[in-house]
């Protein structure tokens, strides 16, 4: 990890790690889907399940990223990725991330054509059945998320912070505009999922830093859903707004909207959505209390309550997982 991979205090950006995770998933997914005869294809990212940042990674450490295919349906591949950080001076290693990603293979000859996925061999019928349940659950959640967000494009303007009250949603909300170039894209000419996730994390980090004015790090990312592909030449707007704060964490909603420049008649569309959770740290990387979010209006109150429900649900799941491991 180099200085340009990290923030000003040496913590590697969550977006940098997410990008590495996606690259590993794309490589193994594309390799697997090209083991059969027929059209050559590229695996495109459709969804990333909740990803927890278990330990921070720092400048000078080496990242080890390993990926394994754990389930295949007719048209999708589930990939599980582990990330380890290694201190090359002491040799100490830590598990920093575990992630599950879903890919869909698209033909290189016809970008609208989805290729059938070669099946994998499971160690037991129970393993296959568990994978099928995960597949059905993510498929349902992805459809529900797309329906909930719809095609309404949220325009987040940069507020005049001198006129906005600190700790409000309007004060910290932020957006980033990016022109999609060739280096951002796959062989199809569509944006790498990892590039999009890195930009999403960057915007979420700006929102979090503006809210608490301290060093911040990514703690977790709820499922990232990729609703539509983003083509080379599009202008993408990544918008972030604070939705919920607990005593020690902040939840930021991030939306990605794409605007085709060449095919402007097609209009803007919603491309990806996610919720990022950040924590505030002091100079010794110890958690700091997060300033409470000041709400204005029913819509912000509604988003806050929804964020609180996700926070309590994830907290209960962590406690249950901890009890099982004991």
Residues 48-85 pLDDT 10s: 999 999 999 999 999 999 999 999 999 999 999 999 99
Per-run averaged pLDDT (10 residues), the chain, 326 residues: 90 96 97 94 95 94 97 97 96 96 95 94 96 94 75 54 82 95 92 96 96 94 93 95 97 95 81 96 91 96 96 89 76
Pull the structure tokens for residue 301: 């109150």
For residue 262, the model assigns a pLDDT of 77
The answer to whether residue 201 is catalytic is yes
**CA gap 20, 194 in Å, rounded:** 7
What is the CATH number assigned to the segment(s) 3-122? 3.10.129.10
Whether residue 256 contacts residue 176, with contact meaning beta carbons closer than 8 Å, is answered with no
Output the CA angle 203-11-240, nearest 5 degrees. 10
Domain ranges of the chain: 3-122, 158-325
Q: CA 5 to CA 239: how far, in whole Å? A: 22
- Say what the pLDDT of residue 145 is: 79
Enter the pTM of the model: 0.90
* Spatial contact of 83 and 61, defined as CB atoms under 8 Å apart: no
- Common-topology check for domains 3-122 and 158-325: yes
Q: What is the pLDDT of residues 23-45, one digit of tens each?
A: 999 999 999 999 999 899 999 99
List the helix and strand counts (H, then E) for the chain: 5, 12
pLDDT at position 151, please? 54
- The answer to whether residue 314 is catalytic is no
Q: How far, in Å, CA of 226 to CA of 178, rounded?
A: 17
What is the reported pLDDT for 82?
97
Catalytic member of 11, 34, 184, 201? 201
Rounded to whole angstroms, how far apart are CA atoms 148 and 223?
Answer: 14
pLDDT of residue 81: 98
CATH of 158-325, one of 2.40.37.10, 3.10.129.10, 3.30.1310.10, 3.40.50.300: 3.10.129.10
From 7, 82, 149, 314, the catalytic residue: 7
């Amino acid at each position: 990890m180099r200085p340009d991979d990290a923030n000003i205090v040496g913590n590697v950006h969550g977006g940098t790690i997410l990008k590495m995770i996606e690259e590993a998933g794309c490589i193994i997914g594309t390799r697997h889907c090209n083991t059969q005869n027929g059209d050559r294809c590229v695996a495109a990212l459709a969804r990333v399940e909740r990803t927890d940042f278990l330990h921070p990674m720092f400048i000078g450490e080496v990242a080890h990223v390993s990926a394994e295919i754990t389930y295949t349906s007719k048209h999708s591949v589930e990939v599980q990725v582990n990330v380890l950080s290694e201190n090359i001076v002491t040799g100490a290693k830590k598990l920093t991330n575990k992630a599950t990603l879903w890919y869909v293979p698209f033909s290189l000859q016809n970008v609208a054509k989805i290729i059938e996925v070669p099946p994998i061999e499971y160690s037991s019928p129970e393993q296959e059945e568990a994978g099928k349940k995960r597949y059905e659950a993510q498929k349902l959640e992805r459809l529900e998320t797309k329906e909930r967000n719809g095609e309404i494009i949220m325009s987040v303007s940069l507020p005049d912070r001198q006129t906005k009250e600190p700790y409000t949603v309007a004060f910290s909300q932020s957006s980033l505009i990016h022109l999609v170039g060739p280096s951002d894209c796959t062989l199809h000419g569509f944006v790498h999922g990892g590039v999009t996730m890195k930009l999403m994390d960057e915007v979420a980090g700006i929102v979090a830093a503006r809210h608490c004015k301290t060093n911040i790090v990514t703690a977790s990312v709820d499922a990232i859903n990729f609703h539509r592909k983003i083509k080379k030449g599009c202008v993408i707007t990544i918008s972030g707004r604070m939705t919920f704060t607990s005593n020690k964490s902040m939840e930021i909603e991030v939306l990605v909207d794409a605007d085709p420049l060449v095919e402007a008649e097609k209009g803007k569309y919603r491309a990806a959505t996610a919720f990022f959770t950040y924590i505030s740290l002091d100079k010794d990387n110890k958690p700091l209390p997060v300033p409470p979010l000041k709400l204005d209006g029913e819509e912000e109150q509604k988003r806050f309550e929804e964020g609180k429900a996700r926070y309590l649900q994830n907290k209960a799941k962590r406690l249950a997982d901890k009890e099982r491991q004991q």
